[in-house]
Amino acid sequence: MKIKDILEKTRPVSFEFFPPRQADGIPAVLETLDELKVYSPDFVSVTYGAGGSTRAFTEEITFEAKRTAGVEVMAHLTCVGQTKEEIHGVLERLEAEGVENIIALRGDPPRGSTEFVPVEGGFQHATDLLEHVKSNFKFGVAAACYPEGHTESVDLGSDLKYVKMKVENGADFLVTQLFYDNRHYYDFVERARAGGIDVPIIPGVLPVLNSAQVRRFTALSGSEIPPELDKLLDKYADNDDSARDMGVEYATAQVRDLWDVGVPGVHFYVLNRSYSVSRILDNLTIPGHHRQD
């Protein structure tokens, strides 16, 4: 089923996984997915790696989730390191396996480099990939957006202009980058609506798993750490279990606020661990998404 049709019927709760480095890590990812299935996700997604064999694992986990676990899926796809023809081939494989949804992304520049350079004959931006997908396939398509602005964008206005272009090029809905202050999400939605972007904007939520990791991720994404969270990250810098429990409480409050305001859904960055998202959903008791053993 296309996620845009799910969005017409309900406010989806979804989980994002990433592919392991080695093939022997695949069963653990599927096990986590299985543990989280009791919360009835409306769809799950699997990120697309920077290159190499993890890309095949993305496809494998996506197909397994759909085929064996019977969960709706959204495959991530980026423009990194592949020609248009190669990307077209990936899309054909996804279509042949019955995948109906993708999220079209540019991808990050390779580690150590600040500029994204497409391969010869590749796509430069998510907008180009979206155009290709919409002209050649029938997938439901999502795109990324950045409440605090993308790290490479000159200003919030030009960033929003490109988000609008993603929607004009076929994105049915948007999923946000992580943020720890809901004000950034609310402000972004307000600016998007004022700018004529009318598709659902699903907040992406990353529960804190440990202090160092959140500091690393926010440094990369340019997301603000609010002062109260900053203090808690310092307090639990050397205690990962306490940091994780604090993260559950923080994300519970964050999602409760978002849900009560009426967000169109919530996308959890699971990071292949079931503990935090399970506890958060136990705390929230969202209708249709509490534990069903």
Angle 230-231-234 from CA coordinates, rounded to 5°: 90
3-state secondary structure 18-72: CCCCCHHHHHHHHHHHHHHHHHCCCEEEECCCCCCCHHHHHHHHHHHHHHCCCCC
* Residue 16 annotated in active site: yes
Query: Which segments of the chain are extended strands (E)?
Result: 13-17, 43-46, 73-77, 101-104, 140-145, 173-176, 201-202, 204-205, 266-269
Q: Please, which residue, 106 or 279, has the CB nearer to ligand FAD?
A: 106
Question: Least distance to ligand FAD from the beta carbon of 190, Å?
Answer: 19
Q: Please, which residue, 78 or 274, has the CB nearer to ligand FAD?
A: 78
Question: Least distance to ligand FAD from the beta carbon of 193, Å?
Answer: 19
Question: Least distance to ligand FAD from the beta carbon of 24, Å?
Answer: 21
Q: Please, which residue, 33 or 105, has the CB nearer to ligand FAD?
A: 105
Question: Least distance to ligand FAD from the beta carbon of 237, Å?
Answer: 26
- At 25, which amino acid appears? G
- Catalytic-labelled residue, pool 16, 72, 100, 148: 16
Question: How many whole angstroms separate alpha carbon 235 and alpha carbon 230?
Answer: 9
Contact set with ligand FAD (CB under 6 A): 47-48, 76, 78, 103, 105-108, 125-127, 144, 150, 152-153, 159, 162, 165, 175, 177, 204
Catalytic positions are 16
